[in-house]
């Protein structure tokens, strides 16, 4: 496939403006150095979306990208057509070249292996200007649709960022890390539900961090206000500190646990997910742990598990503090903006403070569904 060398010229004027703004402004430190545009919206580093993330999301639509409100695009098709009138015609030349090549091929095909002219029907007409214009237009429209689709995809991804732990407007997770963390999050919550017991914080964090990059691991730990290098839990699940690396902690669970049944202690990779075993060993769920890692497949449930398990505010360490994104080195606990979400944080499942250790009573399945409905109801406002 030949991408036109000057494809950058095709970039919309709006995108060029944003790129210019990106050059003019001093970006904030990354983990995805974001900048804010003139409207105060947070933009990702590099090429930035030409759309605000706060636009209505259409995640429920199977093809949300297709339904992204195009009128909100800084460059609608109409605008793009206007831009096309101004910009260089390099991309247009490509279309024309395409036609030329095609015509050339047809001429070659007019001869058989002996070089004699083939007998054919009426020769195809060389595309006229009208057809070429139509092709150009179709290509431009397809480009606009593709942009819109990708914007919708990114909007959905942004909404996903908001429901996984460690959401920060100023330090966004990358796309791939967002997906990984979301997968781990779902896995960890599923494990917790399946276990029906108060989960072990360390195991939860370990599951969350599986497969994540070191910066993201640090970010998750930072969200939990834990030192990634030091967090451990004691026998009661309280956080204690040691000098072990997070990977030591991850792959070698410390010591024995009162909840650890015989034969389930150990170290090494095979024990990487046994943190969950420490608190969830009902025989009924035993087969479930045959896949003790999010990497080895998703857990299956006999019943239908409500997919959006949004335990908003599941992590709450300083629930009295208002969220303060973008300040300091900590990434505030995820608070949801919708009414009622803050209250959820007060019922958080995980707390590190010794006096408030795991106060949240996690009900299993049928017991919790009602609460889940409430949670999800407010969450998916």
Partner DNA sequence: TAGGCCATCTGGTCCT
Partner DNA sequence: AGGACCAGATGGCCTA
Contact residues: DNA, CB under 7 A: 1-5, 7-8, 10-12, 15, 19-20, 22-23, 25, 27-30, 32-33, 35, 44-50, 62-63, 65-66, 91, 94, 98, 138-139, 141-147, 149-151, 154, 172, 174-177, 213
Q: Write down the least CB distance from residue 64 to DNA, Å.
A: 7
Nearest CB to DNA, comparing residues 55 and 238: 55
- Residue 195, classed as helix, strand or coil, is helix
User: Of the two residues 28 and 259, which places its CB atom closer to DNA in the complex?
Assistant: 28
Beta carbons within 8 Å of 22's beta carbon, 6+ residues apart: 35, 43, 45, 46, 48
> Tokens 């779902």 sit at which residue?
186
Which residue lies nearer to DNA by CB, 176 or 356? 176
Minimum CB distance to DNA smaller for 119 or for 129? 129
Judged by beta carbon, residue 172 or residue 351, the one nearer DNA is 172
- Rounded Cα distance, 364 and 302, in Å: 13
- For the bound state, the minimum distance from the C-beta of residue 67 to DNA, rounded and expressed in Å, comes to 7
CA dihedral 300, 306, 312, 314 (to 10 degrees): -30
Q: How many CA atoms does the CB half-sphere of 183 hold within 13 Å?
A: 16
The single residue listed with the structure tokens 């629930």 is 319
Q: Residue 160: helix, strand or coil by DSSP?
A: helix
Count Cα atoms within 13 angstroms, Cβ side, for 127: 19
Q: Which is nearer to DNA, 89 or 256 (CB)?
A: 89
Give the up-direction half-sphere exposure of residue 318: CA atoms within 13 A in the CB hemisphere.
13
Listing DSSP states for 220-288 in one string gives HHHHTT--TTTEEE-TTS-EEE-S--HHHHHHS--S--TTPPTT----SGGGTTTTGGGT---GGGGGG
The minimum distance between CB 297 and DNA, in angstroms, equals: 20
Q: Tokens for 171?
A: 């330090």
Shortest distance in whole angstroms from residue 324 CB to DNA: 20
CB of residue 43 to DNA, shortest distance in Å:
8
User: Is the CB of 152 or the CB of 323 nearer to DNA?
Assistant: 152
Q: CA distances (Å), 88 to each of 4, 74, 210, in order?
A: 13, 20, 48
- Minimum CB separation from DNA for residue 164, in Å? 14
DSSP helix/strand/coil, 36: strand
Helix (H, G, I), strand (E, B) or coil at 361: coil
Complex with DNA: residue 12 or 376, whichever CB lies closer: 12
- Least Å distance, CB 211 to DNA, is 12
Rounded Cα gap, residues 235 and 71, in angstroms: 57
CB of 37 to DNA, least distance (A): 12
Residue 179 Cβ vs DNA, minimum distance, rounded to whole Å: 10
Specify the residue, 97 or 112, whose C-beta has the smaller distance to DNA. 97
């Amino acid at each position: 496939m030949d991408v036109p060398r000057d494809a950058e010229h095709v970039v919309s004027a709006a995108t060029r403006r944003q790129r210019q703004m990106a050059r003019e402004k001093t970006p904030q430190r990354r983990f995805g150095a974001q900048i804010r545009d003139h409207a105060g919206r947070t933009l990702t580093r590099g090429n930035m979306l030409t759309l605000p993330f706060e636009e209505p999301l259409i995640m429920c639509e199977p093809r949300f990208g297709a339904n992204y409100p195009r009128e909100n695009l800084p460059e609608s098709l109409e605008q793009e057509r206007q831009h096309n009138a101004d910009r260089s015609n390099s991309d247009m030349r490509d279309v024309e070249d395409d036609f030329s090549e095609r015509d050339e091929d047809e001429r070659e095909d007019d001869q058989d292996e002996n070089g004699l002219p083939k007998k054919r029907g009426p020769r195809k007409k060389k595309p006229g200007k009208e057809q070429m214009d139509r092709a150009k237009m179709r290509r431009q429209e397809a480009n606009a649709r593709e942009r819109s689709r990708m914007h919708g995809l990114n909007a959905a991804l942004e909404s996903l960022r908001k429901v996984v732990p460690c959401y920060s407007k100023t330090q966004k997770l990358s796309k791939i890390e967002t997906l990984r963390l979301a997968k781990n999050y779902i896995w960890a919550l599923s494990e917790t539900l399946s276990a029906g017991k108060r989960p072990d914080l360390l195991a939860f964090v370990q599951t969350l961090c599986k497969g994540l990059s070191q910066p993201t691991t640090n970010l998750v730990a930072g969200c939990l206000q834990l030192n990634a290098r030091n967090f451990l839990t004691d026998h009661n699940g309280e956080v204690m500190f040691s000098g072990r690396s997070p990977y030591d902690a991850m792959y070698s669970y410390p010591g024995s646990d009162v909840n650890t049944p015989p034969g389930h202690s150990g170290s090494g990779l095979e024990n990487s997910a046994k943190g969950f075993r420490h608190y969830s060993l009902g025989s009924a769920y035993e087969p479930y742990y045959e896949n003790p890692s999010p990497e080895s497949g998703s857990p299956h449930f006999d019943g239908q598990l409500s997919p959006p398990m949004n335990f908003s505010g599941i992590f709450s360490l300083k629930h009295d503090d208002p969220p303060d994104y973008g300040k300091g080195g900590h990434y505030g606990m995820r608070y949801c903006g919708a009414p009622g979400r803050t209250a959820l944080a007060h019922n958080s499942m995980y707390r590190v403070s010794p006096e408030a250790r795991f106060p949240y009573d996690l009900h299993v399945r049928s017991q919790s569904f009602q609460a889940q409905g409430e949670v999800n109801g407010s969450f998916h406002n």
